[in-house]
Amino acid sequence: EPQWVLMATGRSPTNIAVIKYWGKRDEALILPVNDSISVTLDPDHLSATTTVAASPAFPSDRMWLNGKEIELTGGRFQSCLREIRKRARDVEDKKKGIKIKKEDWEKLHVHIASYNNFPTAAGLASSAAGFACLVFTLGKLMNVNEDYGELSSIARQGSGSACRSIYGGFVKWCMGKNDNGSDSMAVQVVDESHWDELVIIIAVVSSKQKETSSTSGMRDSVETSPLLQYRAQTVVPGRILKMEEAIKNRDFESFARLTCADSNQFHAVCLDTSPPIFYMNDTSHRIISLVEKWNHAEGTPQVAYTFDAGPNAVLIARNRKTATLLLQRLLYCFPPQDNDLDSYMLGDKSILSD
Ligand code: PMV
């Protein structure tokens, strides 16, 4: 049999939710209890790059993450691979003399190598970038013809939040109504050029791997938190509409208020879970205080904060000038020594109005 290798490479950035996804109504298909909205980051900073290769010489499917081989036995990888294989089409590479019929893809094995350009263990939503990139790149290799909505619905089965990384800009994951998940997919709200004065700063508070995975945390919250039900049914639907409006109008004040409130409610749900889940730590809380005091002193929000399933802060500044001030303040206040936040905020007002 002739030996050849066919390859494809892709890159996907991670995304940060401003209206959070927390809780599944179907664990196997990864169907959420509410819609969510996120912002996709710039691919130069936090992204996954994946190369997939197929060859008749490969006896099995294998995967390497940051150069280390990982087990592909997990159901989530298998779901993504299966769904893309099902949709594979004929591929012809005349230069290399390769001709693959669509039915051949069932027997052809793949090797997958994926790299993150940021620390995987830092709790920075690496699975979102990883699964989005895997699905996108496999789709390219196997010449699938599905649109981005359908690809997002496949990426969702790898990691829920991954469905939102298929698009740039601001993205909404519509929870969908169907039991089979066919309408649970991402749509773009606005593209990356729409609100490009925003600056996102990620303050790494701890690079330790999180203690409670999002999968087990969500399961416990769904089973035990009465606040989660209230949030999903009564609070989030209204917030989604307001957030879409705020984004379309580039209304930073509404955007920041909704983002902070939603992060805080997500962490309140974690606290309302039995046993309670603590993702934020004292440093996270100090960062919240810093931003809240600053926003209060200005009278109108300058910075929004949001925290995922870990203590790291994602800070969104309204423009570059605010981002510069924010960095100065973070560097002044952290690590906390004698530089007390209150004395900083009250002491040198000149920096406030800089
Ligand atoms: O997709 P997962 O299982 O990594 O869950 C992500 C959960 C949060 O990051 C906390 C919220 C979100 O919407 O991304």
**140/188 Cα distance (integer angstroms):** 21
pLDDT at 125: 61
Q: Measured from the CA of 19, which atom of ligand 1 is nearest?
A: 13
Q: What is the residue with the minimal CA distance to atom 6 of ligand 1? A: 161
* CA–CA distances in Å: residue 229 to residues 222, 224, 277: 8, 10, 17
What interhelical angle do 126-141 and 148-156 show, nearest 10? 130
Bridge partners, residue 124, by sequence: none
pLDDT at 338: 52
Q: Measured from the CA of 21, which atom of ligand 1 is nearest?
A: 13
Q: Measured from the CA of 15, which atom of ligand 1 is nearest?
A: 14
For residue 20, the CA-to-ligand 1 centroid distance in Å is 7
For residue 127, the CA-to-ligand 1 centroid distance in Å is 9
Q: Is the CB of 20 under 6 A from ligand 1?
A: yes
Best CA proximity match to 319, nearest among 258, 255, 260: 255
pLDDT at 126: 72
Q: Is the CB of 308 under 6 A from ligand 1?
A: yes
pLDDT at 252: 98
According to DSSP H, which parts of the chain are helical? Answer: 75-86, 126-141, 148-156, 214-224, 226-230, 236-248, 252-271, 282-298, 320-333, 341-347, 349-352
Tokens of 214: 């999002």
Q: Is the CB of 309 under 6 A from ligand 1?
A: yes
Q: What is the pLDDT of residues 177-218, one digit of tens each?
A: 999 999 999 999 999 999 999 999 999 888 776 678 899 999
Q: What is the pLDDT of residues 8-28, one digit of tens each?
A: 999 999 999 999 999 999 999
- Please, what CATH class does the domain formed by 6-190 belong to? alpha beta
CATH architecture, domain defined by 199-352: 2-Layer Sandwich (3.30)
Tokens of 160: 């829920």
Q: Is the CB of 36 under 6 A from ligand 1?
A: yes
Task: Give the three-class secondary structure for 305.
Answer: strand
pLDDT at 292: 98
**170/209 Cα distance (integer angstroms):** 27
**136/148 Cα distance (integer angstroms):** 9
> Averaged in consecutive runs of 10 residues, what is the pLDDT profile of the chain (354 residues)?
88 96 97 98 91 96 94 89 96 91 94 86 74 97 96 97 97 97 97 97 82 91 98 98 98 98 98 97 96 96 96 96 96 72 42 34
Pocket test residue of 20, 80, 171, 222 for ligand 1, highest count of atoms within 8 A of CB:
20
Give the domain ranges of the chain. 6-190, 199-352
Average pLDDT, the chain: 92
According to DSSP H, which parts of 42-179 are helical? Answer: 75-86, 126-141, 148-156
Best CA proximity match to 46, nearest among 131, 125, 103: 125
Q: What is the residue with the minimal CA distance to atom 8 of ligand 1? A: 308
The bridge status of strand 47-55 relative to strand 6-13 is antiparallel
Q: Does the fold of domain 199-352 match that of domain 6-190?
A: no
Contact criterion met (CB below 8 Å) for 123 and 307: no
Pocket test residue of 14, 21, 46 for ligand 1, highest count of atoms within 8 A of CB:
21
* CA–CA distances in Å: residue 102 to residues 56, 85, 92, 173, 239: 14, 9, 11, 31, 44
Contact criterion met (CB below 8 Å) for 87 and 142: yes
Q: Is the CB of 214 under 6 A from ligand 1?
A: yes
The bridge status of strand 303-306 relative to strand 313-317 is antiparallel
For residue 327, the CA-to-ligand 1 centroid distance in Å is 26
ipTM of the complex: 0.99
The bridge status of strand 62-65 relative to strand 109-116 is parallel
**272/317 Cα distance (integer angstroms):** 30
What interhelical angle do 126-141 and 75-86 show, nearest 10? 30
